Amino acid sequence: MHIMEGFLPLEWCIAWWVLALPFLGWGFFRLRRVLDADREALPLLGVTGAFIFILSSLKLPSVTGSSSHPTGTGLSSICFGPGITSVVCLVVLLFQSLFLAHGGLSVLGANIISMGVVGPMAGYLVYRALRDSRVNVYMTVFLVCAVADICTYVTTSLELALAYPAAVGGVATSLGVFLGIFAVTQVPLAIVEGIVLALVFKYIIQLKPEILFRLRIFPERAITEARGGA
Amino acid sequence: MMLRRYRLEVIALFAIVAFIGLFLLTTSFAPDAEFAGADTAGSAQVAALTGRSAEEFTPLVPQWEPPSGEIESALFALQAAGGGLVAGYIFGRWKGEAKKG
């Protein structure tokens, strides 16, 4: 989902940075609040953050003949919300900008918006909609993670389309082209990511259900039910 | 009973096998596919839309690049390993705590 360094005009770099900064500020604020309130949240933050590190390092081949990587942001978004997730993404994207030449400092704002803000936010909306419903916990986690993943790449496409509208057809045509590259490639990856993270969530439920109760991530009934089955 | 207990594991296994199968299918139908990054494909598209060559897009902020593909994959592996280490440590700790009761 990276936009590569130099591939976004300066004015767009600044615009996305300006948009990203308040989210990061909110994220840092939330992070302090959560950790001050409950030190036991730290290991859970570690696990959800670790999977962002792992999954976003895997470049996987897809049906379009190009490769892309999952984002892993869904779990973190469920457990801690999109604000804190954007801070974790800042760390990952900074690492990749500085050491891997994936993304870059000028386009970091745009990449944070796609991977750290819009994706997790979309996932979070799915989570809020399904949290108290009868939908199975694992199905919810799957949907959240897949949606967060896809929406990240849709946002990347939109960012590029806005900066580079096609001569004929403008932004809409450009968007179609970039979606064809980023979003289509991402569909199988998003599905696998959703399933894998649902499995990770199963192990969290089995090993540390207390923390999920305490942070009120899912209703106790849903967690207890999930511990029994699947 | 076993299958019910490990239902998610089985689904994940199938998904991964299907993913690999899809990859093999893609390679057989499109033998020329290079599987370069979608980032690269996106950048090439930007170049095509603007009518400039991809080399003209120089970094706005100077950037260090891994000197070779090997070093790049080493650093990617390092990123994954770091994540794996943290996740493994915490899961292990939780498991230990659960055992102690």
Q: What is the pLDDT of residues A109-161, one digit of tens each?
A: 999 999 999 999 999 999 999 999 999 999 999 999 999 999 999 999 999 99
Which residues from A are below 8 Å from B35, CB to CB?
61, 65-67
Predicted confidence at residue A229, as pLDDT, reads 58
Alpha helices in B2-68 (DSSP H): 2-5, 7-29, 38-50
Residue B2 is assigned to a structural domain of this protein: no
- The answer to whether the Cβ–Cβ distance between A4 and B57 falls below 8 Å is yes
* Helices A10-37, A73-99: inter-axial angle, 10-degree rounding: 130
Predicted confidence at residue B2, as pLDDT, reads 66
Which residues from A are below 8 Å from B16, CB to CB?
192
pLDDT tens, chain B, 101 aa long:
566 788 999 999 999 999 999 999 998 888 888 888 888 899 999 999 998 988 889 999 999 999 999 999 999 999 999 999 999 999 999 999 988 86
Count of structural domains within chain B: 1
Domain A10-59+66-222 CATH class label? mainly alpha
- The answer to whether the Cβ–Cβ distance between B46 and A160 falls below 8 Å is yes
- Chain B, residues 76-95, CB within 8 A of chain A, namely 76-77, 79-80, 82-87, 89-91, 93-95
Interface test with B, best of A1, A7, A63 (most B CBs within 10 A): A7
Name residues of chain A where pLDDT drops below 70.
229-230
Which residues from A are below 8 Å from B41, CB to CB?
64, 66, 181
A216: left (phi over 0), alpha (psi -120 to 50) or beta: left
Which residues from B are below 8 Å from A170, CB to CB?
none
Predicted confidence at residue B37, as pLDDT, reads 87
Residue B10 is assigned to a structural domain of this protein: no
B73 touches chain A (CB under 8 A): no
Predicted confidence at residue B99, as pLDDT, reads 84
Residue B95 is assigned to a structural domain of this protein: yes
Residue B97 is assigned to a structural domain of this protein: yes
| Domain limits, chain A | 10-59+66-222
d(CA A21, CA A19): 6
Predicted confidence at residue A230, as pLDDT, reads 53
d(CA A218, CA A34): 17
Residue B99 is assigned to a structural domain of this protein: yes
Predicted confidence at residue B1, as pLDDT, reads 59
Residue B96 is assigned to a structural domain of this protein: yes
Residue B92 belongs to domain spanning: 64-101
